[in-house]
A and B are shown apart, each in its own frame.
Chain A
Amino acid sequence: MSEVYVNGYFAGEHDKPLELVKALIEKRRVNKLPETMNVAYHVDKDEVQINVDSGRVRRPLVVVNNGVALLTVDMGEKLKKGEISWADILKKNIVEYLDAEEEENAYIAVSREELTSEHTHMELDGILILGVAASVLVFPEKNRGDRLNYGSRMAVQSIGIPLQNFLMRDDTTYNVLVYPQVPIVRTDSMDAIGLESHPSGHNLVIAVSTYYGYNVEDALIVNKASLERGIGRSVAFRSFVTEFRRYWGGQEDEVCIPDASVKGYRSEEDYSNLDEQGIIEIESKVPAGSVLVGKISPLRFLGVAKEIKMGLQNFRDNSLTVSNGNDGIVEKVVLTSDSEGNKILSVVVRDTKIPEVGDKMATRHGQKGVIGLVVPEEDMPFTADGIVPDIIVNPHAMPSRMTVGQLLEIVAGKVGALAAERINGSIFCGKEDNIRTELKSLGFRDDGKETLYNGITSEKMEVPILTGITYYYRLYHLVSKKIHARSKGPVALMTKQPTEGRSKEGGLRLGEMEKDCFIAHGAPITLRERFGSDKVSIPICKTCGVVAVEDHIKNKKYCPLCKNEAIVNVEMAYAFKLMLDELKSLLIYPQIIPENS
């Protein structure tokens, strides 16, 4: 007796589960049961699962009867022409939707050719065995599986045109590719996904070669002229938002060019780009740290009584500034309000990002690289026809990763460019032989290789080099947003240690394990120097062992506990002093006993 569940709840038992499933499916196919019902028999648990609830992901499959697909070729054509509709086909149960559970019981053919009498279903198209992310990859069947994974993961990081109304928006950050191209080698699903109208890369002329060692370890050599023509050029938008709040006592934030009497006033020059309202002019250049919106807020704490009476310094400067590394040109200023009615000003700053050494680019085959050198066009190798590659990748990227699909894309892209047509690179669609013969008929070597000439010496290269066209993504890991170094700089208020993070111009942490390395090398003095960022000299009472007080006016040191004036200065990490303070707050009394006392 196998158990039968409906929507996951136990409903009863049945002697012949397979017959039950078969009967239910047959009833569904004559529209006596809802089309949304799916039945599955789990052999291992010996239970039947009937599902009619919401939230199941289902996909369409062609029903196969005795090895014959109910959707004929003829019907497919009619469907394309619009003579019959999808609803008709669903109604006739030629195509049905299966959920993940029922799919486990189905035997699905990928193409019409491989249909046997045992098959229960057939894919509408081979590409449907892939998901959205993987179906945009070209020649996936020729690559190793992990490369497809990397490839589709990197497609997500590509800069393209994510939205077509980007000029009207003020998101925190977004990147837009300038003049994106649709790939020459395409897949069938791209149009459906929307990548034909939102492309995210460029078709580049690629040569698989070395170049004086500047493309080792997956680096890329890029043609400078190609960059100037606009390859990979993108615009980074960033918005800076400030809110105008109301406070107790009728005070509120105010947009204006701050008066010199305001606490925290910068300098006249800093406010010079603002218009009379105190808002930055559109299309003005804003370097890091400059003021975008002049804003004054009431003081958080009241000052000396005299100052209040005189009306001085009742406001502090709370202007909106460009944060570090986000300089650019002001694109637009948006004035709105939040749900509580507070005024919100959002300033969008734009910056054109031309690919430079250190920027990341990738193909659709999981072959990513960082630009290693930008070469003037005259120094790049060229073919007999005068074609100069946009990009040179190192041949070492190929053998260990086995991305044969990329080699094929290079050749197919070449064919597409020469014949002025788009090549279908969908899964199981690209035929290597066809591409080769077509390339040959266009007057090139069928393997896509060409003789190149050294751009510097113009010597003929001994070995023919694979050149063709590949679709390249520019990934949004830009060096200009990552480069970071520090010698001296800001420290955190509480610990007196350097701040953390690039945006705060922070230091790079020397961690626990690095510390151990210094000790293993027997270099504790170097270690002390590296950890000395928060070094302080603190007066300590010799009798109590507690931190003493230094009175600068009377120029004397004394112990706050015993009023003793026997004080020594002890050098220690400020973090340690902080820990002693915390211990005191826990009613633990830590004493420092100087050596000679």
Chain B
Amino acid sequence: MDESVVQDVLGLYEEKIDKSDLSAKEKSALKKSLKDRYTNMYYDCGEAIGVIAAQSISEPATQTTLRSYHRAAGIGLNITQGLPRILEIFDARKEPVTPAMKIYLQKEFNTKEKAIKIAASIKETNLKHIMTLDSLDLGNMTVEVELDKKLIEKLSIEPDKIVSAVKRKIKNLNGSIEGNKIIFEINKDKVTVKDLQTLRFKLREVHVKGIKGITHCIVEKTSNEFVLYTLGSNLIKVSKIEGIDISRMKSNNIFEIVETLGIEAARTTIVSEITDTLRGQGVDTDVRHLLLVADTMTQSGDIQAIGRYGLSGSKSSVLARANFEETIKHLVDAAVHGLSDELNGIVENVMIGKTARVGTGLVEVVMKTQETPVKVVKEKKE
């Protein structure tokens, strides 16, 4: 073991120990016991840490399987929990079933009013959300949209902004505001009823305010500040909104994190997401197992799933891959390319009945049968 590593880690505590009001003897004893504990925690050479990590995660997971798939997260948002969520992470699915974000605010924006305002600017608002009625005026061949006045004021949306948003989205259109109504007219010679009908459905989906894909945004007060919870995730767009504390912004969409914040952030997210879901099921797994999983998943600089198309599928041994899944594919592939198996892994050796190179199988007795003993005897005599 590298002594400098031990020193580095212990250095974090040395200062505190030195400052404390212990006697010199006690201090050195404490340092020694700390060092011993640290060195004792090292895995032994040849220990099958992967298998231990897998068992440490999967055994408790089997007990949580039958518990509820979805659980309300206390604030009315349904976020995937339990085993489905763990599978989602380990399988490295591109998009989680329920992407979600947790957004903290900067100090000067940490009031209820401002938080609600920011939430309103984040939540996706379409025309259909802010209108009370849309109808076809067949006499004038127009579409009338009646707006929800209270809601518009609450979200501070101005009617002309709606018109311009609609115009951006749908071409050849005129909109005029008449009190609470907006009347849309199609710039066309012959307008049919069918045109109006399709326009009506198009209008409903026009994006007016907020960030696309974020369907919910809820403000909640924690012990000392306001936090926003969202359903739907968009790190880039949310980070551009004023008043948001970017450094503490969280998302559960790991692939999005890789793209925006990089692989290290993704690794941290994998660990924290699994810890949180496991803890939510009442399971307390040692972080180091999860760190190992997260490290192996991210070691290539990209997220690799644990499974057929990820880590297990990229093992170097033909036999190990064939043993896992898609046996025929791997064997035929190996035959076509004339691959050979060096029999270094565990599964291959178990298959052919050889001692696997782990644990006690790692060491072999090497003994010089002739020279050494004779020499030793001679030296002693002289």
Smallest CB separation, A399 vs chain B (Å): 25
If A573-B351, A573-B352 touch, whether A519 touches B358 (CB-CB below 8 Å) is yes
Whether B346 pairs with A524 at a CB distance below 8 angstroms is yes
Number of A-B contacts (CB under 8 A): 69
Which positions 339-382 of chain B face chain A at CB distance < 8 Å? 340, 346, 349-361
Which positions 393-443 of chain A face chain B at CB distance < 8 Å? none
Residues of chain A within 8 A of B357, CB atoms compared: 524
Q: Mark A509-532, 1 if CB is under 8 A from B, else 0.
A: 000000111011111110110011
Whether A515 pairs with B350 at a CB distance below 8 angstroms is yes
- A502 lies within 8 A of chain B by Cβ: no
Smallest CB separation, A595 vs chain B (Å): 10
Bound: A519/B44 CA distance, A = 14
If A519-B358, A519-B359, A588-B331 touch, whether A524 touches B353 (CB-CB below 8 Å) is no
- A589 lies within 8 A of chain B by Cβ: yes
Whether B55 pairs with A520 at a CB distance below 8 angstroms is yes
Residues of chain B within 8 A of A522, CB atoms compared: 44, 46-48, 358-360
If A520-B55, A576-B353 touch, whether A588 touches B335 (CB-CB below 8 Å) is yes
Whether A524 pairs with B360 at a CB distance below 8 angstroms is yes
Smallest CB separation, B329 vs chain A (Å): 13
- B51 lies within 8 A of chain A by Cβ: yes
Residues of chain B within 8 A of A571, CB atoms compared: 353
Whether B353 pairs with A516 at a CB distance below 8 angstroms is no
Nearest B residue (CB) for A513: B55
Whether B360 pairs with A528 at a CB distance below 8 angstroms is no
- B133 lies within 8 A of chain A by Cβ: no
Bound: A320/B351 CA distance, A = 40
Residues of chain A within 8 A of B44, CB atoms compared: 522
Bound: A4/B33 CA distance, A = 83
Whether A528 pairs with B47 at a CB distance below 8 angstroms is no
Residues of chain A within 8 A of B359, CB atoms compared: 519, 521-524
Q: Mark B26-65, 1 if CB is under 8 A from A, else 0.
A: 0000000000000000001011100110110000000000
Bound: A437/B44 CA distance, A = 72
- A28 lies within 8 A of chain B by Cβ: no
Smallest CB separation, B42 vs chain A (Å): 14
Cβ contact of A527, chosen from B331, B332, B350, B352, cutoff 8 A:
B350
Whether A528 pairs with B335 at a CB distance below 8 angstroms is no
- A583 lies within 8 A of chain B by Cβ: yes
Residues of chain A within 8 A of B51, CB atoms compared: 516, 519-520
Nearest A residue (CB) for B47: A522
Whether A572 pairs with B352 at a CB distance below 8 angstroms is yes
Bound: A236/B356 CA distance, A = 49
Among A519, A531, A571, A589, the most chain B Cβ lie within 10 Å of the Cβ of A519
Nearest B residue (CB) for A590: B335
Bound: A576/B352 CA distance, A = 5
- A535 lies within 8 A of chain B by Cβ: yes
Smallest CB separation, A279 vs chain B (Å): 48
Residues of chain A within 8 A of B358, CB atoms compared: 519, 522, 524
- A593 lies within 8 A of chain B by Cβ: yes
Whether A528 pairs with B48 at a CB distance below 8 angstroms is no
Residues of chain B within 8 A of A524, CB atoms compared: 346, 349, 355-361
Which positions 568-596 of chain A face chain B at CB distance < 8 Å? 571-573, 576, 583, 586, 588-589, 591, 593
Nearest B residue (CB) for A526: B360
Whether B353 pairs with A519 at a CB distance below 8 angstroms is no
Bound: A583/B346 CA distance, A = 22
Main SS of the interface on chain B?
helix
Cβ contact of B360, chosen from A525, A534, A588, A591, cutoff 8 A:
A525
Whether A527 pairs with B356 at a CB distance below 8 angstroms is yes
Interface range on chain A (Cβ under 8 Å from partner):
20 to 34
Cβ contact of A525, chosen from B331, B335, B361, cutoff 8 A:
B361
Q: Mark A534-562, 1 if CB is under 8 A from B, else 0.
A: 11000000000000000000000000000
Nearest A residue (CB) for B335: A588
Smallest CB separation, B375 vs chain A (Å): 28
If A576-B351, A593-B340 touch, whether A519 touches B356 (CB-CB below 8 Å) is yes
Residues of chain B within 8 A of A573, CB atoms compared: 351-353
Bound: A535/B354 CA distance, A = 10
Bound: A407/B30 CA distance, A = 61
Whether B353 pairs with A528 at a CB distance below 8 angstroms is yes
Residues of chain B within 8 A of A532, CB atoms compared: 353
Residues of chain B within 8 A of A586, CB atoms compared: 331
Cβ contact of A519, chosen from B48, B340, B354, cutoff 8 A:
B48
Which positions 263-309 of chain A face chain B at CB distance < 8 Å? none
Bound: A207/B358 CA distance, A = 56
Bound: A516/B355 CA distance, A = 14
Bound: A39/B353 CA distance, A = 70
Bound: A524/B356 CA distance, A = 6
Whether B353 pairs with A572 at a CB distance below 8 angstroms is yes
Residues of chain B within 8 A of A517, CB atoms compared: 55
Residues of chain A within 8 A of B361, CB atoms compared: 524-525, 528
Residues of chain A within 8 A of B350, CB atoms compared: 515, 527-528, 531
Bound: A532/B355 CA distance, A = 11
Residues of chain B within 8 A of A519, CB atoms compared: 48, 51, 346, 356, 358-359
Bound: A524/B348 CA distance, A = 12
Nearest B residue (CB) for A533: B353
Bound: A516/B347 CA distance, A = 10
Bound: A522/B45 CA distance, A = 10
Smallest CB separation, B180 vs chain A (Å): 37
Smallest CB separation, B366 vs chain A (Å): 16
Bound: A521/B49 CA distance, A = 10
Bound: A591/B343 CA distance, A = 13
Nearest B residue (CB) for A588: B335
Bound: A589/B338 CA distance, A = 9
Residues of chain A within 8 A of B352, CB atoms compared: 572-573, 576
Residues of chain A within 8 A of B346, CB atoms compared: 519, 524
Q: Mark B61-76, 1 if CB is under 8 A from A, else 0.
A: 0000000000000000
Nearest B residue (CB) for A595: B343
Nearest B residue (CB) for A582: B331
Smallest CB separation, A491 vs chain B (Å): 15
Residues of chain A within 8 A of B47, CB atoms compared: 522
23 A–B pairs (Cβ distance < 8 Å), ordered by A: A519-B358, A520-B55, A522-B358, A522-B359, A522-B360, A523-B359, A524-B349, A524-B355, A524-B357, A524-B359, A524-B360, A524-B361, A525-B360, A527-B350, A528-B350, A528-B353, A528-B354, A532-B353, A572-B352, A583-B331, A583-B335, A588-B331, A589-B335
Closest 6 CB pairs of A and B: A522-B359, A573-B353, A524-B361, A524-B356, A588-B335, A520-B51
Q: A519-B356, A524-B355, A573-B353 are in contact. List 19 more A-B contacts (CB 8 A).
A: A516-B54, A516-B55, A519-B51, A519-B358, A522-B46, A522-B47, A522-B48, A522-B358, A523-B360, A524-B346, A525-B355, A525-B360, A528-B350, A531-B350, A532-B353, A534-B353, A535-B353, A572-B354, A588-B335
